[in-house]
């Protein structure tokens, strides 16, 4: 049943939230209608093409987000999206995003960080974050394949000396040797891509202890 357009205020703060090319359209309920039984419908547009397209899974929905990752997966294209609110027989005008360019605007998630230690060293193996994919069976695409200039800022905190230092690397394995035995070190890694300003996502801080000094351990026995 067609609704009377314009009687409702529009949804607000309509924007894409994008991490590793997982592109979610998010919005806030119209002013004054929070908590009411409002439903929403979403459409999207590929810049340079001809018409607005429907997203069937986001027609008459009550949630205030819609996953458009599949529809916006060609990251070299640019997109618009819009959403309108419906309540009873009334509906709002469309609320539209600005032009969304996944290649420039997606946030780069942190790499996976694997730490192994021995007496005096910590080996760090980084695995580049993965691009969003539709089905788990699909083969993964690393964000490194998309951003060849992807770098990592590795910072290491020595809990005994209370000192932190950093290193910017492009390779995926690094070893900090000659560390102090029996000492807790904490590592934090951030992905970084030169280009327009992007929000960053540091990894979870991981702490690991170097083994006790074996020579003193033997003497004690």
Partner 1 sequence: DGVAVLPAPQNLSVQSTNMKHVLTWSPVTVPEEIVHYSVEYQGEYESLYTSHIWIPSIWCSPTQRPECDITEDITATVSYSLRVRATLGSLTSAWSTLKHRFNQNSTILTPPGMEITMDGFHLLIKLEDLGPHFEFFVSYWRREPGAKEHIKVVRPGVLPVYLETVEPGAAYCVKARTFVKAIGRHSAFSPTECVKVQGEALPL
Partner 2 sequence: QEFQFGPCRVEGVVLQKLWQAFWAMKDIVQAQDNIMSVRLLRKEVLQNVSETESCHLIRALLRFYVNTVFKNYHDKAVEFGILKPFSTLANNFFVLVSKLQASQEKMFSTRKSARRRFLLFYQAFKQLDREAAVTKAFGEMDILLSWMEKFYQL
Residues that bind partner 1 (CB under 8 A): 153, 155-156, 158, 161, 163-168, 176-180
User: Which lies closer to partner 2 via its Cβ, residue 35 or residue 48?
Assistant: 48
DSSP 141: -
**Of the residues 16, 27, 44, 45, which one makes contact with partner 2 according to CB under 8 A:** 45
- Shortest separation between residue 195's beta carbon and partner 2, angstroms: 6
Distance CA 113, CA 127 (A): 7
Please list, residue by residue across 62-73, b when 16 or more beta carbons sit within 10 angstroms of its beta carbon and e when fewer do: eebebbbbebbb
Two tokens, residue 125:
């193996």
Q: What is the closest distance, in whole angstroms, from the C-beta atom of residue 46 to partner 2 in the complex? A: 9
Question: From CA 188, how far away is CA 166, in angstroms rounded?
Answer: 9
CB of residue 164 to partner 1, shortest distance in Å: 6
Q: Tokens 């695995």 identify what position?
A: 127
Choose the contact partner of 145 out of partner 1, partner 2, none; CB within 5 to 8 A by kind. Answer: none
Q: Are 212 and 179 in contact (CB under 8 A)?
A: no
Chain centroid to Cα 68, Å, comes to 14
Q: Report if residue 13 touches partner 2, rule: CB under 8 A.
A: no
Interface residue with partner 2 among 37, 76, 138, 219 (CB under 8 A) is 76
Residues that bind partner 2 (CB under 8 A): 45, 47-51, 76, 78, 80, 98-99, 101, 103-104, 149, 194-197
């Amino acid at each position: 049943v067609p609704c009377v357009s314009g009687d409702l205020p529009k949804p607000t703060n309509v924007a894409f939230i994008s991490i590793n090319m997982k592109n979610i359209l998010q919005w806030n309920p119209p002013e004054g209608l929070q908590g009411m039984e409002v439903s929403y419908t979403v459409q999207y547009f590929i810049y340079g093409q001809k018409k607005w397209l429907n997203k069937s899974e986001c027609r008459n929905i009550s949630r205030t987000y819609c996953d458009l990752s599949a529809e916006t997966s060609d990251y070299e294209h640019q997109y618009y999206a819009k959403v309108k609110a419906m309540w009873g027989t009334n509906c709002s005008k469309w609320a539209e995003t600005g032009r969304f360019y996944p290649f420039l605007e997606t946030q780069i998630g942190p790499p996976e960080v694997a730490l192994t230690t021995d007496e005096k060293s910590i080996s760090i193996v980084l695995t580049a974050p993965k691009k969003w994919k539709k089905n788990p069976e699909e083969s993964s695409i690393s964000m490194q394949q998309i951003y060849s200039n992807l770098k990592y800022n590795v910072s290491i905190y020595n809990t005994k000396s209370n000192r932190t230092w950093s290193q910017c690397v492009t390779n995926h394995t690094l070893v900090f040797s000659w560390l102090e035995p029996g000492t807790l070190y904490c590592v934090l890694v951030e992905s970084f891509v030169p280009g327009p300003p992007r929000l960053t996502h540091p990894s979870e801080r991981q702490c690991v202890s170097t083994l006790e000094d074996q020579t003193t351990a033997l003497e004690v026995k």
